[in-house]
Structure 1
Amino acid sequence: MPMVFFDCPTAPNPRRVRMVIAEKGLGIETREISIAAGEHLAPGFLRINPRATLPVLVTEAGQALTETVAIADYLEALHPEPALMGRGIEERAAVLNWNAVVEGQGGRPVFDAFRNSHPAMQDRAVTGARDYPQIAALAERAQEQVADFHAMIEDRLQQSPFVATDHFTLADITCFVILDFARVIRRPVPAGNRATLSWQRHIRQRPSAAA
């Protein structure tokens, strides 16, 4: 069976996979799932991913991969260049480490702030098939954590041209998408964070940034 990518154009994690696919120049059959329309909760999609999350990559063997890093790693194994997961064991460890740091210290608070404050996320404060109410205090705390993340990334990018290594990797994709998505919680990169803004402009020039 052909490989199939289940995408949602408005969600950040599917965008990360779209950027990986674009960087590698792959042509993968894509099916759009509208989260806004509740298509991720439809029985047909739940048979593919009972967790009701996106993205999903169904491999040629029929396995459904539902985590962004797993999808990126799988595509890297099939198409090693360009090396988005790092070259060699040291770089790979750095990419996985920094990607996890960015997801945890940046992605989690950005998503918490969004899901616990945006009107469209009423009773959908947690991803998945089950409804959860919004918690205003969690959104407020998350806003403070996003400010800490901006400071941390600025410090890192003052020391390194890219997030994880000396070249563009999955960690840069993750950071770029999260910082871009932070606009929905009105937390753009601060004007004084020159290293981050320069890096962001550089990444935005890549064709994959439009994916």
Structure 2
Amino acid sequence: MKLYDAEWAPSPRRVRVYLAEKGIEVERVMVDLRSDEQRGDAYLAINARGAVPALELDDGEVICESAAICRYFEALQPDPPLFGTSPIEIARIESWTRRIENDGYTAVVYAFRNSRDAFKDRAASGKWPPIPQIPELATRGAIMWNAFVEGLDARLGETEWIAGGGYSFADITALVTIDFARATRLAVPEGDGNIARWHAAATARPSAAA
């Protein structure tokens, strides 16, 4: 199988961190986003959405979306578990992962895609007709981000890792999101010490460098 990857994009990084935690090695094919290789005919033949990552299986089937790729590997290799084992663990991890994606990651994408000249008429990732930027969405993203980190900091005042128990896919998702936000100049307020403690611990894991 082959994993179509990109160095600096957050979604491929989420898969890399997950695979590193699991100790799984997969052949990687790098896609150059800076030259728009993901929008070229060769890559579109693999993933018609023109987005990364994508996992091409040995039989030719392609799995897109970072969470779906990680779910696939979790089913192949359950240990160590990163999506939970008991019904309540699975539910907590799923709930926090979705909250981070919908409230945090979405906020960063709004701010990132709607405020940079490089994304003029490309306010959504992937292969779309021209989509104009909406400056108000960048403002919305900043408001959403502040509310998100406030809630996350409160949660991390109650538990070491986001979903309770051990390090999980929810923590991977949050790590990638917060690092992406920093690159977008959406900061975590200095007073949010619980996030700072958690982020230092997550970053210290060898998988964070994947």
**TM score, norm. by length of structure 2:** 0.96
Task: Give me the whole-angstrom Cα distance separating, in 2, the residues matched to 1:181 and 1:63.
Answer: 30
The alignment-based identity, stated in percent, is 38
Structure 2 stretches of 5 or more lacking a match? Answer: none
1:188 is displaced (CA, Å) by: 2.1
Deviation of the 1:121 alpha carbon: 1.6
In structure 2, give the amino acid aligned to 1:140: T
Q: Shift in Å at residue 53 of structure 1? A: 0.9
Residue 88 of structure 1 is matched in structure 2 by: 86
What SS does structure 2 have at the residue aligned with 1:176? helix
Gap change, CA 1:184 and 1:119, over 3 Å in 2: farther
Query: In structure 2, what is the Cα distance between the partners aligned to 1:63 and 1:85?
Result: 24
The residue matched to 2:3 in structure 1 has which SS? strand
1:200 is aligned to: 199
**What letter is aligned with 2:26?**
I
Whole-Å separation in 1 of the counterparts to 2:47 and 2:163: 31
What is the alpha-carbon distance in structure 1 between the residues aligned to residue 37 and residue 148 of structure 2?
32
**Whole-angstrom CA distance in 1 between matches of 2:36 and 2:91:** 37
CA deviations on 1:89-124 (whole Å, 9 max, x unpaired) are 221121111100100000001011000002222221
**Is the CA contact (8 Å cut-off) linking 1:112 and 1:138 kept in structure 2?**
yes
Note the C-alpha offset of 1:191: 0.7
- Pair 1:184 & 2:162 matched: no
Provide the rounded CA distance (Å) in 2 between the counterparts of 1:61 and 1:172.
Answer: 32
- What number of residue pairs does the alignment pair up? 209
> Are residue 18 (structure 1) and residue 16 (structure 2) matched?
yes
Alpha-carbon RMSD across the aligned residues, in angstroms, is 1.0
Question: Which residue of 118, 121, 125 corresponds with 2:119?
Answer: 121
**Which whole-Å CA distance do the structure 1 matches of 2:33 and 2:86 have between them?**
37
> Structure 2: which amino acid aligns with 1:75?
F
Contact 1:180 1:188 in 2 (8 A): no
Q: Distance in 2 between matches of 1:61 and 1:86?
A: 29
List gaps (5 residues or longer) in structure 1: none
